[in-house]
Chain A
Amino acid sequence: MSATQVINIARREFIAKVRSKWFIIGTLLVPFFMSMWVFIPNLLARADVEQLRIVVADVGTGSGSQIADRLREIDDFTLEITAVRSLTKSQAAVARTSLQQQIVDESLDGYLLLEPDDELGIRGRYYARATGNIVIISALERAVRRVALEDYLQGSGLQSERVNALVSWDLEAITVSAEGEEEGGFRRAYMSTVVLAMLLYMTVLIGGQQMGNSIIEEKSTRLIELILGAVTSTEFISGKILGVLAASLLQLAIWVLLSVLVGLFVLPALAVGAAMQGTDLMEFLDPTLLFYFAVLYLLGYTFYSVIYAAAASTCTSSEELQQIAFPLVMPMVLSLMFVFYAITNPATLATRLISLFPPTTPLVMLARINVLRPPLWEIWLGILLLLAATVALVWVAAKMFRFTLLMSGKRPSLSAVVRLIRAA
């Protein structure tokens, strides 16, 4: 195999891909839509927020104004408490009729009805024209619960802050290894693996189809026999795969760069970051983990792209490719199921074997690295096997490509493929 030929083919493929208008459109549009996905709800929420006018109607609990204060304390909130009305039971029916009328007239958006309750102390009901706003509902809920709890604890000597803290307490899990102690565990392992899975799945679906199409395309340009006069099918397919990979990795790098720029400069400026505080990004910035994440992502992406290339070698149209490629990327989806098992049972033989099986290596090995770092040799054995499987697939793809191209137009039967691989 001549490296020069592989580079010649890869170079042409890369330039053709990068110059194509779909590459340029895709490179710009995907981040655009992604950012829309983040910004639009946020911007919408800011730009056009209904200022809801609400009356707190307290029917004998005496906590109405306290709850109203709690609601007013909430920052950045779109609720306007227009009045707090203390009512007796006999007044309630008349007052509610008038409030209902105001809601119908649209001079009021809703009212919070507070009544004493034997079990809860205070029971709240929210009457409004629209009751779909979950943010409002949960804010009201929290305010009522908080005040009810404080009322209940009043005089018992118990501190409501402490009770709150106890109720929302989480167990900390610390991973102990030769390198020391490390916080995190299931959550981190699961989150980072899910992120890898999502990234892998999305990029493979896009990139794999591109890879497949560019192989199928070769059959229709009819230039291929001219090329195969000078370049072996293995050189050709390797170059083709490298070229497509380089183009899609360039695209991915641009996306990552854009996301980082957006994350560093745009999000803080818009104060959108608050919405993402739920996932602590710093957890992923452990350099070792980041390294394995990158290695396993690149290898996984390459492996599945090559699967698409191999499948495409036997196809004559991209519809045909879609039909047969789906079962081939199933292991990627299946490995998500194994991830759960691997995280809960990181040291069993089954987990170790699954993490060494190339199609499931990227996700399962990453999960293992996260939970209970496997011995170094096992990680690298997995990586090597994945690499070897990829090379073997390139070889199979090349053989099938040549076979289907020069032998006949039809797709080879499975038995023909097996015979071919044996003969080669």
Chain B
Amino acid sequence: MSDPPALRTIGLVKEFDGVAAVNSLDLEVPTGSVFGLMGPNGSGKTTTIRTCLGMYVPDRGEVQLLGARDPLAVRYRVGYLPEERGLYPKMQVREQLAFLGTIRGLRRGEANRRAAAWLDRLGLGDRSKSATNELSKGLQQKVQFAAAVIHEPELLVLDEPFTGLDPVNTRLLKELILEQSDRGCTVILSSHRMEQVEAMCNFVALIHRGDLVLNGALKDVRAAHGHSTLAIRYDGPSGSLGNLPGVAKVNDSGQSARLEMRAGADTQALLRVLLDRLTLHSFSSEQPSMEEIFLDKVGPGADGNAHMALTDEGELVRQVETS
């Protein structure tokens, strides 16, 4: 790639009270990419972001943000939506948005103009003079997003952007983010809910306990890690899924099953065997999800008595056995 990366960290270390929150992190976010920074809660995503944006001073290592060693030098070219976010409750909506534009380097007149335009776009044109705390939470979140992009940054960093959003607003926000990407803006998305962001990303990094577990283009990561899965619906005698060629593991639910295939296994050969043995209603070949890859890398057994698990909501959590 000819363009220098939008963000690069080299051996980045950030410790709190002697405990490394970010541990020797080498990260590269290609310019123009939508980059997913994933990992469970407490894995060091927010610390990584804050250190890269200059809010924390790294203990060791180096950060290059848009090619600059000093994040302060490029602060007007970066947009940031932190996980902990709010707005001045009493301030008028448009003034607030314009203010947040001016601290990202816009002149006051230009900031006012863009703030008004954004509010019109978000359907808040008639609320521009309202006090911010009169807006619903969802509307405030739209304003916060507008504040992060009002100065048309080259790099947009979003820390857990979907937290607390309903499905409608989640979809709207995804559209707004992809629109920024279409504009040519590099987007870094951090999330502990991988299924929410992996569809949007073309590059990913997985962090676990401050360590980088995976990093690269999504398709390469998928190809290199984990196995493809064949999902089938069938009728047939029990036990007919035993001893299949190229299959590492079978999850049989009676009427349907997921067959995890070994790397390099021949799907066509497997299908032929299956057609001989049972009535096949449907089949589909599925790529492993980031969650599966993640669990595969750091899941049960990967680190002592603690392991990752999926909750019912599809949230990745770290479980520590007490025994």
A residues with CB within 8 A of B: 5, 8-9, 12, 15-16, 20, 221-223, 225-232, 402, 406-407
Contacts and interface: CB of A to CB of B under 8 A. Distances in A.
Contact of B86 (A8, A12, A221, A231): A221
A222 B85 contact: yes
Interface in B4-25: 16
Contacts of A228: 55
B99 A12 contact: yes
B78 interface: yes
Nearest to A408: B16
Contacts of B67: none
A12 B56 CA distance: 25
Contact of A407 (B16, B72, B85, B148): B16
B253 to A, nearest CB: 45
Given A8-B102, A407-B16, A225 B85 contact: yes
A8 B75 CA distance: 15
A20 B102 CA distance: 22
B91 A226 contact: no
Interface string B74-99: 01101011101111111100010001
Contacts of B91: 12, 16
B278 interface: no
A77 to B, nearest CB: 55
Given A230-B103, A232-B72, A223 B80 contact: no
Contacts of A406: 50, 55-56
B80 A221 contact: no
Given A221-B86, A226-B147, A228-B55, A5 B103 contact: yes
Given A406-B55, A406-B56, A407-B16, A227 B89 contact: no
B100 interface: yes
Contacts of B84: 222, 225
Interface of B: 16, 50, 53, 55-56, 72, 75-76, 78, 80-82, 84-91, 95, 99-100, 102-105, 144, 147-148
A226 B55 contact: no
A229 B89 contact: no
Contacts of A402: 55
Contact of A229 (B16, B78, B87, B90): B78
A235 B82 CA distance: 19
Given A223-B88, A225-B85, A228-B55, 4 more contacts: A227-B103, A229-B53, A230-B75, A402-B55
A305 B312 CA distance: 52
11 contacts: A8-B102, A221-B87, A223-B87, A225-B55, A226-B80, A226-B148, A229-B75, A230-B103, A232-B72, A402-B55, A406-B56
A407 B99 CA distance: 26
B99 A226 contact: no
A9 B56 contact: no
Nearest to A232: B72
Given A228-B55, A230-B104, A16 B50 contact: no
A228 B53 CA distance: 9
Contacts of A230: 75-76, 78, 80, 103-105
Counting chain A CB atoms within 10 Å of each CB, the highest count among B16, B56, B91, B103 belongs to B103
A226 B81 contact: yes
B303 to A, nearest CB: 26
B89 A8 contact: no
Contact of B82 (A9, A226, A231): A226
A402 B50 CA distance: 12
Given A9-B103, A12-B99, A226-B147, A221 B82 contact: no
A266 B100 CA distance: 46
A221 B90 CA distance: 10
A406 B72 CA distance: 17
A225 B103 CA distance: 13
A229 B82 contact: yes
